[in-house]
Structure 1
Amino acid sequence: MTRALIYCRVSSAKQRIEGSGLESREQRCRAYADDKGYIVEGVFPDDVSGGGDFMRRPGMVALLSFLDAQKGKSYVVIFDDLKRFARDTEFHLKLRREFATRGASIECLNFRIEDTPEGKFIETVIAAQGELEREQNRRQVIQKMKARVENGFWVFRAPIGYRYVSAPSGGGKILEPDPVLAPLVTDALEGFASGHLGSQAEVQRFLERSPHFPKDKPDGTLRPMTVNRLLKKVVYAGYVEAPNWGVSTRKGQHEGLISFETFQKIQDALEGRKRHFPARKDKNEDFPLRGFVACDCCGNAMTAAWSKGKYRRYAYYRCETRGCEAKSKSVPKAKMEEGFGEILKGLQPAKELFQLAEVMLRDA
């Protein structure tokens, strides 16, 4: 009896659960084996899309490993379609050699493989045709995606803070702000633009403190590159672009989380250009430390205000940063400023500094 193995592959997880999926392909391969009188000893499925190195496909890796463990035994490996064998001509030929070195032959439902010069030539032509079709499909997909970007639609993975929904006018998906993550991203971007978050490291810590913001490291932290990319995405200003496809920056069809002016301030800061922050309009002699003291919880600048009580008014400093655990928790003005005074008292200039000042004043 001839021993057989079945390898079946689909291009996506969606195909796997539909009628043209793995089960239907396996069924056709089993019917072929029964007709030939083969005994099927194993089935190796894959749902990896496109071409590429077959050695990275889990199903193919498992199949080759199985053959390695069955030294001295001969197998026929059944494919339902020669194009499912390997979509790249280079890998097709390489995979043929891998099977040959393991003493395995291949058979396809839709192509009779012949070990003759003519048979090998036709097989190579069909493999090249599969590669051509894949490249043509890829080109067509890129052309369609490029056209959508040119019309103001974002076509890539939804950035953090957005999600895809069906466009109201039909014809595909469009970005809309995520109700949970969008406010957090807006606070981070505006905080960096305004200077309240003075560095990328501060933006990183701000985002890491949120339980909702997705982390990309096992320890619950973010990679610095993640923050840098977030600060550079023009999509957050309501614009789209695709430089690799020659599509310049243009107004998008989606709602921005920040203004383009804010986005430009962020780019100026990243490129080292000096940022000019407007004078605060809420300067008040009653609160000399407003904007200079930082929240112990989130690190952002605290604000201050008077609060009206039953009989009199009370002065407080407090944090108003969205998402901060200490948000709206007040610190009495007297307590805050007395503590600041104690810090000043502890600052004793060095004797050398007085001597230097004396020399400078004498020479002036």
Structure 2
Amino acid sequence: MTKDQRLQSVIYCRVSSKGQKDEGHGLESQETRCRQYAALKGYDVVAVFPDTISGGGDFMKRPGMKALLAFLDAQPNERFVVIFDDLKRFARDTRFHFDLRDAFRQRKATIECLNFKIDDTPEGEFIETILAAQGALERKQNGRQVAQKMRARMENGFWVHMAPVGYAYRTIKGQGKVLVPHEPLAGIVREAFEGYAAGRFQSQGEVKRFFESFPDFPRSKAGHITFQRVGEILGQSLYTGYICSETYGLNWLKGQHEPLISIETFDKVQERRTGISKLPIRKDIGDDFVLRGFVVCGDCGVPFRSSWSKGRTRHYPYYLCQTKGCSSYGKSVARDKLEGEVGQIVRTLQPSEKMFELATRMFRDTWAQRAAMAVDMVKSGKEQLRGIEKRIEGLLGRVVDATNPTVIRTYEDKISELERDKLRLREQVASFVPEDGRLENLLELSLRFLSNPWKLWESGNITLQRTVLRLAFADRLEYDRNTGPRTPKTTLPFKVLEGFCTPLLGNGADDGT
């Protein structure tokens, strides 16, 4: 044929995963063989359409195949030959195979395969049907084998899905790919859980803002950290070191990976998440008002709102009461004034040096008492564990004797609940006895805060400032727009430090003891 008479052709190549593409397996060799075939036949290759996914047998789930069909639709008056190297690359599902054949037939395109002669005779269609059915069988068998291997690996305590934030896969000899903590993300996730469980973060919105303060924390394609991502992280039980999977019927199975948090911390977070819902963060307020939600109107007891008021040349920040019927309704207080007065209260919380030394001794004595009690607590915990195990054994016996599916399911749910209680109790028993050096670590952090909360406050970091408010004050601060802040209720550590002063001074001691 002359050059003008040569038929035009397109090549279709496919591998089952992006990994095969990245490793250079398949696509290039398929294209080379198809180009050699086209040259031998005298065809001009005008386009190549690759795919890196199987699509589960459905060709319309493959971007490359959709692009090929769109290419043919865009040139309805042209006749093309579609070349592929193996019948299994066409469609590994009997129904989809012939649906795709019809799709090409409607577009007046012919298909040619390197290892199989397409024949439209009844005999040829029969053989093609058998080969297509064989491909579908192999695909389903492969899928079943992969699912069985994944289930077996999960039952052995190895996570097989995408690594959650804070973990990464590492290949370990004899174990394969195992989840390991990935710093600094593991520390960030751990701090988020513990902060939310302890009340440092009052809402998932504050956890979101905490994540956003780290530039390297994973974000969406649009560059955001969504509330959905925050919820997925806080609801992921994998961080406790245990595996739960509805797909594989696994419930709190001990995993082979290192936990980031305790079961107790995880449960506290879930309780808070299912409690009273919090209002989302207002995008127009952001981090401009540190006292929003912490200061209430002295007349009505409702938290102040915050806003920016427009002046002649710039905007001015204010706190104000917006409770109708309140005598302070609509009255505003300048942000800098209110926050400055609260800052002065924080500044007065710093104890004297001798008071601080006394508090240090008090903490050490309390710690020693707790260590002495730990032995009895461990003994009591082990007795409770034995009681739970006996209850589980009893329920297992009832399950064996039961015939009603509803009754069996009820027993199984109760057993699952008791197993969860056993894990939690076992974790608590292990934590009763403090580790060596733990006192110094905890004491250093606690006393560093008690000695000078003002230092954290004056940093200007809104997260640290709100942490100071929650740790130092037992309740919201009341503020009167005429007289200023009222006497706050401090938390127990500061209340204890204040209490040392009164009786000692009454006995004639100098004010430094």
Q: TM-score range by the shorter chain?
A: 0.7 to 0.9
Counterpart position of 1:170 = 174
Instruction: Report the Cα distance in structure 2 between the residues aligned to 1:217 and 1:23, rounded to whole angstroms.
Output: 30
Q: Which residue of 2 aligns with 1:263?
A: 266
Note if 1:221 corresponds to 2:220. no
Query: Offset of 1:318 from its aligned partner?
Result: 4.3
1:237-277 residue CA offsets vs partner (Å, 9 max, x unmatched): 1111222111221111111111111112222223339xxxx
Match of 1:5 among 2, 10, 14: 10
Equivalent residue for 2:78, pick from 73, 94, 100? 73
Select 1:252's aligned residue among 250, 255, 263: 255
Following the alignment from structure 1 to structure 2, what is the Cα–Cα distance between the partners of residues 19 and 198? 50
Q: Are the equivalent residues in 2 in contact too, given 1:166–1:172 (CA < 8 A)?
A: yes
User: Which secondary structure state, in structure 2, belongs to the residue aligned with residue 173 of structure 1?
Assistant: strand
Q: Percent identity?
A: 53
More helix by share: 2
TM-score by length of 1: 0.75
Which residue does 1:356 correspond to in 2?
none
1:184 maps to 2:321: no
The aligned residue for residue 115 of structure 1 is 120
- Residue in structure 1 matched with residue 399 of structure 2 by the alignment: none
What amino acid is the match of 1:171? Q
Distance in 2, Cα, partners of 1:80 & 1:152: 41
What count of residue pairs does the alignment treat as equivalent? Answer: 308
454, 475, 482: which one aligns with 1:317 = 454
Which residue of 2 is the match for residue 142 of structure 1? 147
Give the superposition deviation at 1:50: 4.3
Aligned ranges for residues 298-317 of structure 1 at < 5 Å? Answer: 306=351, 315-317=452-454
1:193 to 183, 186, 197: 197
Q: Which runs of 5+ in 1 are unaligned?
A: 274-291, 297-301, 309-313, 349-364
- Which of 157, 164, 168 pairs up with 1:159? 164
In 2, Cα distance between the equivalents of 1:244 and 1:315? 51
CA distance in structure 2 between the partners assigned to 1:203 and 1:182 by the alignment:
15
Cα gap change, 1:255 to 1:325, in 2 (>3 Å) = farther
Aligned pair in 2 of structure 1 residues 86, 319: CA closer, same or farther (>3 Å)?
Answer: farther
Q: By how many angstroms is 1:145 displaced?
A: 1.2
Q: Which runs of 4+ in 1 moved over 6 A?
A: none
- The CA RMSD over aligned residues, in Å, is 3.3
CA distance in 2, matches of 1:170, 1:325: 47
Query: Structure 2 length normalisation: TM-score?
Result: 0.54
Partner of 2:275: 272
User: Structure 2: any 5+ residue segments left out of the alignment?
Assistant: 1-5, 277-293, 296-338, 340-345, 354-450, 487-513
1:51 is paired with a residue of what secondary structure?
helix
Quote the Cα distance in structure 2 between the aligned partners of 1:185 and 1:105. 56
Displacement of 1:347 in angstroms is: 7.4
Change (3 A) 1:100 1:342: closer
Check whether the contact 1:150–1:247 (CA below 8 A) recurs between aligned residues. Answer: yes
Alignment partners' CA distance in 2, 1:35 and 1:123: 24
**In the aligned structure 1, how far is the partner of 2:98 from the partner of 2:253?**
45
CA distance in 1, matches of 2:95, 2:351: 75
* Change beyond 3 A, Cα 1:65–1:244: same
In 2, Cα distance between the equivalents of 1:56 and 1:21? 20
Partner-residue secondary structure (3-state), 2:224: coil
Q: Residues 119 and 196 (structure 1 numbering): CA distance in 2 closer, same or farther, change over 3 Å?
A: same
Q: Which of 100, 105, 117 matches 2:105? A: 100
> Do the aligned partners of residues 188 and 315 (structure 1) sit closer, same or farther apart at CA in structure 2, a change above 3 Å counting?
closer
